[in-house]
Chain A
Amino acid sequence: MDMKRDYYEDVQLFTSGVVVFWMAIMLAALAIFPFLATSYYIYMANFLAINVIVVIGLNILVGYAGQVSLGHAGFFAIGAYGTVILMTEVHLPFLVALPLAGLIAAGFGFLLGLPSLRLEGPYLAIATLGFGLTITQIIGRIELFGGRQGLHTPELFIGPWHLESDRDFYFLLIPLTILLALTARNLIKTKVGRALIAIRDAEIAAETLGVNLMGYKTLAFAISAFYAGVGGGLYAFVLRFIEPEIFTLLMSIMFLAMVVVGGLGSIMGSITGACLLSWLDLQLRNILSIPYLGKWLEALSQEWFSITGVSNIQLIVFGAILVLIMLFEPLGIFGFWIRAKKYWKTWPF
């Protein structure tokens, strides 16, 4: 669509004044939001932001490098436990412990990336899935990690700043999310990003062109694990309590679903996908209190299904949304966006 004339045009953050304008509006909205909303909505925003971080990282792996992962809950767990343990046992400050835990996760990502050199499709899916399941077992076994009883997070200080409320945490989390998103975006525009895309599109062709397959594939795993690890470290403090069973296979599946629904190979898509699905995940429990629809569903359950299982409508709705989005737009929300943009550009033709 847009013609890029030189490299600097490709890497610049804002392509036009309109983009700058809307970005400024969005930033302002993000800054004002915590002063208007109750703690519940701020908590939700924090939760969304963490998913955004993880999903951006996963998109680098899935969308750009073309590798599948069903084990990101494992990296998430490593990040969460790593951060908490580094703070309580090694007494590192949070801002050191968090990236360090991310690096530990990245190390594991590197290791998991090694078999990926030879695996693809369902083979890689089952290998990563196994990783995710095994990690929680191992963590549950180690007494230092609180075993199966879980761990409470310590009080959070950054210098003299005591982060007590969700609002305090919001002010840490949102800038961090923006920073990580921008990093990811810039990374994609560099040599690394182009190499990853080349690997995704044609592995052998990329190799013949001098792309170091091993280096870049494991790098993609490591970067994506780093993002998941950082997300996990932050999640521990949003929840303020962690235990191995939180990090289930379902969580890994959700992350992958967010990436695909948002749109493969698009940072903006990841952000919207993560926000949409995690919002649905939190809000669908209220489906029965929607006026009219809720009553109707209850009547339906009374007649044909069981009223004790009525909450499971959430699952059906969630599943249906996944199926419908994938059926109508394989590129996810990002695909809808592209189509809408195209449509308006050529309107009324």
Chain B
Amino acid sequence: MKRQGWVLLLAGVMLLIGLVAGVGAEEGVTATEIHIGQWGPQTGPAAAWGSVARGTDAYFKMINERGGINGRKLIHHMFDDAYNPAKTKAGVKELQEGTGMFAWVSGVGTAPGLAVRDYLMERGVPWVGPSAGSLHWVDPPHKYLFAVYPLYALEARALCRYAVANMGKQKIAIIYQNDDYGKNGLKGAREELARHGIELVAEVPVNVTDSDLKPHVMKLKKSNAEVVLLWTTVRHAVMTVGISKAMRFQTQFMSTSTCSDFPLMMHISKGAWEGVIAATFAELPDSGYPLLQTYKQEAFDQYAAKGERWGLFYYAGIVFAEPLVEAIRRCGDDVTRERLVQELESLKDFKGISGKISYKPFDPNDPSCRQGQSQTFLVQCMAGGKAKQLTDWATID
């Protein structure tokens, strides 16, 4: 009897020490929980991107259902910033200084992200997978910022390379959104074509608020482009393709991964999207890739709200969170920020549902040390929103 009492006491003390150690270990980490923050526009003009945050939420719930990571549950804190940087900063500060986040994941938009980047970096809070393929994240690189989304320029390169090398096209034009996103695509296309000694035959900017794209399409038509790159929002891409159809302007359209959700694109374009080639950064919604199917069944089917759609934006939320989850898993019991950074840096060819992700030890002069994903593959939209794979995953330099 006496011995048992000792054992119990010992166990109790150990537990207490464990708890205290757990509490003192790191901000946002306790013996049973890890707090992860995220922002995403649920209201405002960019609200269509809001499903990214909801996707991450379902993914975390799935992990928790399976017992969490090494016994700790992931507590997901997401808030709506309406794509307004002032609100993003307010929300990030509130959560970081109130509850205390261990790390941040995803976060939609270049401008909102840039408003909080310095704040998070100065505090040494890791931030994994901003959902925008901007150069701002990796050039110059930051120790605690890990980009997942392939650079916009990279997709443009892949598409141009395919158009020139595989399809033998010479006349390539681009319609791009007049912001960071579009300009990066433009830059990528120019650089890639310069290698082949070709110039873009037309560069047509479009503003986010434009509602009449006929002048833009006329410009494209006049250039007689054989290939038109679409570096715009979903809405403008659909309008461009549709108006071209109405104007009997026949050309091969190629689009960014933003518009690679073919079932959605076919639906809202009323079928005009057929034949468009797109770059993608993740497996396709209807692909039979086993891990993707697991996510669909265990995360989406279980936790998605009524009316949610299993689309690209939704599981992009999973893509951006995968490396973070993997790194926390590798941390074992020692969940600290320094350890997390080490584990992220040691990721080599990690394969989730996107292309392979690798990071390198921090080097302030090497942007690629924080750009995890540089792979893409091309698909073509077929009747009924089915996708035909044109190339395999390929790393674009």
A and B in contact, CB less than 8 Å: yes
A interface residues with partner B (beta carbon < 8 Å): 38-40, 43-44, 47, 137, 140, 147-150, 152, 235, 238-241, 243, 245-246, 281-282, 285-286, 302, 306-312, 314-315
Judged by a CB distance under 8 angstroms, whether B329 is at the interface is: no
Contact B180 A150 (CB under 8 A): yes
Check A147/B80 contact, CB under 8 A, given A43-B90, A43-B93, A281-B87: no
Are B90 and A245 neighbours in the complex by a CB distance under 8 Å? no
Interface of chain B residues 135 through 158 with chain A (CB within 8 A)? 136
- If A307-B305, A307-B306 touch, whether A285 touches B183 (CB-CB below 8 Å) is no
A311 touches B42 (CB 8 A): yes
Nearest chain-A residue to B309 (Cβ)?
A308
A40-B306 in contact given A147-B183, A285-B79, A285-B81 (Cβ < 8 Å): no
Determine whether the beta carbon of B305 is less than 8 Å from that of A40: no
Identify the 9 closest CB pairs spanning chains A and B, nearest first.
A311-B42, A307-B305, A40-B93, A148-B179, A311-B80, A306-B307, A38-B97, A241-B114, A40-B94
Q: Could you list which residues of chain B lie within 8 angstroms of chain A, going by C-beta atoms?
A: 42-43, 47, 50-51, 54, 79-82, 84-87, 89-91, 93-94, 96-98, 110-111, 114-115, 117-119, 136, 178-180, 182-183, 207-208, 305-308
Note all chain A residues with C-beta closer than 8 A to B306: 302, 306-307
Smallest beta-carbon distance A157→chain B, Å: 17
User: Which of B80, B96, B114, B136 contacts A285 (CB under 8 A)?
Assistant: B80
Given A43-B89, A314-B43, A315-B43, also A308-B98 (CB < 8 A): no
Give chain A residues whose Cβ lies under 8 Å from the Cβ of B98.
38, 40
Please give the distance in Å from A231's CB to the nearest CB on chain B.
Answer: 13
**Residues A148 and B54 in contact in the complex (CB < 8 Å), given A240-B115, A314-B80:** no
B96 CB contacts on chain A under 8 angstroms: 40
Complexed CA–CA distance, A141 and B228 (Å): 23
Partner of A150, one of B82, B94, B114: B114
The distance from the CB of B83 to the nearest CB of chain A, in whole angstroms, is 9
Cross-chain pairs A/B with CB under 8 angstroms, 17 sampled: A40-B90, A40-B94, A140-B178, A140-B179, A149-B180, A240-B115, A241-B111, A241-B115, A243-B111, A245-B111, A285-B80, A285-B87, A285-B91, A307-B305, A308-B42, A308-B54, A310-B42
- Residue of B at shortest CB range from A282? B90
A308 cross-chain contacts in B, Cβ below 8 A = 42, 50-51, 54, 305, 307-308
* A152 CA / B118 CA spacing, docked (Å): 10
B136 — which chain A residues lie within 8 A by C-beta? 149
Instruction: State A174–B329 Cα separation when bound (angstroms).
Output: 46
Which chain A positions have C-beta within 8 A of B81?
Answer: 285
Give complex CA distance A43, B92 in Å: 11
CB neighbours (8 Å) of B87 from chain A are 281-282, 285
When the two chains form their complex, are residues A239 and B89 in contact, meaning their CB atoms are under 8 A apart? yes
**Residue in A38, A150, A281 with the greatest tally of chain B CB atoms within 10 Å:** A150
Chain B residues with Cβ below 8 Å from A243 are 111, 114, 180
Nearest B residue (CB) for A302: B306
A302-B306 Cα distance, complex, nearest whole Å: 8
Residue of A nearest to B44 (CB): A250
Name the contact of A148 in the complex, choosing from B42, B50, B85, B183 (C-beta under 8 A). B183
Q: Is the CB of A312 within 8 A of B86?
A: no
Contact B85 A239 (CB under 8 A): yes
Q: A235 — which chain B residues lie within 8 A by C-beta?
A: 86
Q: Output the nearest chain B residue to A243 by Cβ-Cβ distance.
A: B111
In the complex, chain B residues whose CB is within 8 Å of the CB of A285: 79-82, 87, 91
Not counting A43-B93, A148-B178, A239-B86, a sample of 16 additional A-B residue pairs whose C-beta atoms are within 8 angstroms of each other reads A40-B98, A43-B89, A44-B90, A47-B86, A140-B179, A239-B89, A239-B115, A240-B115, A240-B119, A241-B85, A241-B111, A282-B87, A285-B79, A285-B91, A307-B305, A309-B47
Set B51, B90, B118, B305: member contacting A240, Cβ < 8 A: B118
Per the bound structure, the CA–CA distance linking A40 and B94 in Å amounts to 5
Residue of B nearest to A137 (CB): B207
Task: Name A235's closest neighbour in chain B (CB-CB).
Answer: B86
**Smallest CB-CB separation from A147: which chain B residue?**
B183
Task: Given A137-B207, A140-B178, A150-B114, decide whether A306 and B93 contact each other with a Cβ distance below 8 A.
Answer: no
In the complex, what residues of A have CB within 8 A of residue B97's CB? 38-40
Q: How far is the CA of A199 from the CA of B119 in the complex (A)?
A: 47
Enumerate chain B residues within 8 angstroms of A306, measured Cβ to Cβ.
305-307
* Chain A residue with the shortest CB-CB distance to B94: A40
Q: How far is the CB of A334 from chain B (nearest CB, A)?
A: 26
> How far, in angstroms, from A314 to B41 measured CA to CA in the complex?
13
Chain A residues with CB under 8 A of B80: 285, 311, 314
Residue of A with least CB distance to B136: A149
